Amino acid sequence: MLAQFRGLVLGELPWGENDKLLSVLTAEAGKVSVLLKGGASLKNKAGAACMPLCYSEFVTADRGGRPWVREATEIESFMNVRCNLELTSTALYMCDVASEVCVENGDESEMLQLMLNTLYALDRGLKDRRLIKAAFEMRTAAVAGFSPDLVSCTECGSDTSEIMYLDVMDGVIHCAECRRKNNLEKAREGHTAMLFTLDRPILDAMRYVCYSNAKRYLSFELPRDAAGVFCEYCERYLINHIDKSFRSLEFLRSLELLPKNEP
C-alpha cells in the first residue's frame, strides 16, 4: 500500500547497518517515522530530499508494519541555513522542540506552518537570528497550548501599569499594584515562583507573537536594549514549560559565547 504526503524532516537515526529512520513532521498525521533503506549510502537517490531540515514530498510503501521511503522529492532545503553554523544550530534546536511538542497521529498543521515560516525567515535573513529564535519559542508555546495569558492582570483585570510581571509557571501576568499587595514573589506551597519583569515594549512584542496572524508573527519591533531581555524570557518560558533542555540548545549557547570577528 502506497501513501503520499509532504513533510519536514526533523531528524534521523541510524537503523541497522545501512538504513536510516527518519522523523518527519506532517500536517495531517503529526510526527511519522519512516525508514530510508540504504540511507547511509551516498548513492541513494532519495537521500538529498531526506536530510534533516528538508521539506519534501514522500511516497512511502508499507512492509511489515513500518513505512519506508519509496520516492522523495525535495521542495525546499533552506540552503542558506545550512551554510551558516549558527543558523544550522538554531534550526536543529527548533526541530528538537517540534519533535518534543508534536504528537503522532494528530493534526500538526499549525506547528508545521510555524516551522516552515521560521525556517524561511532564517534562510532569507528577515530578522536577527536571535529574535527569530525567541519568537519561535513563544509562538510554539501558543501553538502547543501553554502560552501565557498576556491580556491583562489576572488579579484585577487592569492593563494600565507600565510594568507588568509574568508568572512563568502559572502563565499569567500581574500589575505592579497586585504584585505589591499580594506579595507575589513569595512562593506558595507546591509552587515555584518565577517572575519576569515586562516593560511595555517587551509585553507588546510577546502579545504580538502569541496573538497575531500565523504568517505575520515576526512583524514586531523592539528597541535594541529590550531585545536581549525578550530573547532570554522567551527561551526560559518555553524550556520551563517543556521541562526539558536540549543538547542542540547547549551547543547553540556555546557558539554564541565564541568571540565574533570584527568586520
Per-residue pLDDT at 185 = 55
Could you give the percent of the chain with pLDDT greater than 70?
95
pLDDT tens-digit map of 53-104: 999 999 999 877 789 999 999 999 999 999 999 999 999 999 999 999 999 9
Per-residue pLDDT at 20 = 95
Whole-angstrom distance, CA of residue 234 vs CA of residue 48: 33
CATH number for the domain running over 80-263: 1.20.1440.120
Query: What letter does residue 205 receive in the DSSP assignment?
Result: H
Whole-angstrom distance, CA of residue 14 vs CA of residue 68: 14
Residue bearing the bigger pLDDT, 117 or 188: 117
Q: How many other CB atoms sit within 10 Å of the CB of residue 215? A: 9
Per-residue pLDDT at 261 = 62
Per-residue pLDDT at 170 = 92
Helices (H) and strands (E) in the chain, counts: 8, 9
pLDDT tens-digit map of 197-216: 999 999 999 999 999 999 99
Phi, psi of 54 (to 5 degrees): -85, 130
Nearest by Cα to 120 from 57, 74, 53, 72: 53
Mean pLDDT score of the chain, rounded to an integer? 92
Band of pLDDT at residue 192, cut at 50, 70 and 90? low
pTM, full prediction? 0.92
CATH number for the domain running over 2-76: 2.40.50.140
Per-residue pLDDT at 66 = 84
Nearest by Cα to 233 from 183, 182, 165, 179: 165
Band of pLDDT at residue 42, cut at 50, 70 and 90? confident
Whole-angstrom distance, CA of residue 65 vs CA of residue 231: 43
- On the CB side of 101, CA atoms within 13 Å amount to 31
* Least confident stretch, 77-91, 116-130, 181-195, 222-236: 181-195
Please state the domain extents for the chain.
Answer: 2-76, 80-263
Band of pLDDT at residue 263, cut at 50, 70 and 90? very low
Could you give the percent of the chain with pLDDT greater than 90?
79
